[in-house]
Amino acid sequence: MSFVPELPLDVRALEALLPHRYPFLLVDRVVEFEAHKRVRAIKNVTINEPFFQGHFPGHPIMPGVLIIEAMAQVGGMLLMSAVPDPEKKVVYFTSLNNVKWRRPVKPGDQLRFELELLQVRGMMCKMQGVAKVDGEVVCEAEMGAMVRDK
């Protein structure tokens, strides 16, 4: 049976679907979802994020790897829509390709993630994602992932 969420999914619903918890749950809301195809989600970036204490004092910038991690979390939900018994599974990312960061993400920005499932073969998949702030692409990547039993 495929996973099809009732939208929008807030952080409490996300905690029921993803294994991540504070401070590593990096998605606030899922706003669009088309099973087996695409997903759109939001991350509100605030000065209260723990990583801003050290990255960088006096010049807070969201680490690029955490933008990719947030994108991967959104993509994990998309992948779960394509597998049977998703509550018994976990997603592991296996590759990142063509990763590009276009501009820094700062406190007060709202990241909007758009991910598309490109290919599913058994328990492996490929997806493509972008992160935008105010309609401008700030990060993009192609990702590979696999689903395994918990």
Q: What is the pLDDT of residue 1?
A: 41
Q: What is the pLDDT of residue 25?
A: 95
Give a three-class secondary structure readout of 64-83: HHHHHHHHHHHHHHHHHCCC
**The pair of three-digit structure tokens given for residue 140, joined into one six-digit string:** 């993009």
Domain of residue 28 covers 11-149
Q: What is the pLDDT of residue 45?
A: 98
Cis omega (within 30 of 0) for bond into 8: yes
Q: Which residues are catalytic?
A: 55
In a domain, 31, yes or no: yes
112 close to 130: Cβ distance less than 8 angstroms: no
In a domain, 25, yes or no: yes
Which residues touch 135 (CB under 8 Å, ≥6 apart)? none
Q: What is the pLDDT of residue 4?
A: 58
Q: Which residue has the tokens 């209260």?
A: 48
* pLDDT values of the chain reduced to their tens digit, one per residue, 150 residues: 455 567 888 888 888 778 899 999 999 999 999 988 999 999 999 999 999 999 999 999 999 999 999 999 999 988 887 778 878 889 999 999 999 999 999 999 999 999 999 998 888 899 999 999 999 999 999 999 999 998
Q: What is the pLDDT of residue 112?
A: 98
In a domain, 2, yes or no: no
Beta 124-133 vs 110-121: how paired, if at all? antiparallel
Q: What is the pLDDT of residue 86?
A: 79
In a domain, 33, yes or no: yes
* Total structural domains within the chain: 1
In a domain, 3, yes or no: no
Using DSSP, state whether 96 is helix, strand or coil.
strand
In a domain, 5, yes or no: no
